[in-house]
Structure 1
């Protein structure tokens, strides 16, 4: 039992850093996007929830890959930053492709939200695979 618990400090450090990375990314994403996702979600807007969830999952996938393959916390932090940049760039490209994206989300167009969530998840999977 002692052998298993000997890695607990490393587990807690990696988990803690990944949660911090997720929080920082979510904060940046919420600042960068023109719509107010959390307010929309509190109002029952499904599209805002779907897009935000897809984006967070698209970020968490490469962070999980980085965590599994990193040799130090600094590796995880740097690859986490790369994952964040990729997801933010993905959002900016999608805004160019769908000029009325803000309106689509605010008017709760679920079809658009599902497409956006799917594309951000795809980028997250590709990003995670590229990190291995």
Structure 2
């Protein structure tokens, strides 16, 4: 039993720095993505959420999930740090483009979110998550 535990601890000790580095880079990419997302949206999610606007909360939650899903896929399928960074950036760009496309298709969604229209928020969030799942699947190959 002790030899097995020693082996497990050796493997863990060797792999843990890589895991933490890859995870840390992915979290940084997610934070950058959420920051850029908030810059691109025509409304201010955080202030709307602070005012109790559930539609803004739904949109922001959907965005965070939609950004995280393809990043998780990249993290799961890539072993090289440069791979994770490059595909992570591609994933973020695709998700941000999704926001811009939805903004063009759903005219007036800014006002709808600001008014607290949960149906509009769910439509945007679901579209973002759906594209994120397709994005993740495509990257997983």
Q: TM-score, normalised by structure 2?
A: 0.90
Equivalent residue, structure 2, for 1:123: 131
Provide the secondary structure at the position in 2 that maps to 1:34: coil
- Once residues 40 and 136 of structure 2 are traced to their aligned partners in structure 1, the CA distance between those partners, rounded to angstroms, is 23
Given candidates 1, 14, 27, the residue that maps to 2:22 is 14
Unaligned stretches of 5+ in structure 1?
none
CA contact (8 A) 2:66 2:131 kept: yes
CA contact (8 A) 2:91 2:135 kept: yes
Equivalent residue, structure 2, for 1:33: 41
Residue 52 of structure 1 deviates from its aligned partner by: 1.1
- Over the aligned positions, Cα root-mean-square deviation in angstroms equals 0.9
* Alignment length (residue pairs): 132
- Once residues 21 and 72 of structure 1 are traced to their aligned partners in structure 2, the CA distance between those partners, rounded to angstroms, is 15
Residue 4 of structure 1 deviates from its aligned partner by: 2.1
Considering only CA atoms, is the larger Rg found in Structure 1 or Structure 2? Answer: 2
Matched, 1:61 2:82: no
Unaligned stretches of 5+ in structure 2?
1-8
Q: TM-score, normalised by structure 1?
A: 0.96
- Once residues 3 and 72 of structure 1 are traced to their aligned partners in structure 2, the CA distance between those partners, rounded to angstroms, is 18
Residue 32 of structure 1 deviates from its aligned partner by: 1.1
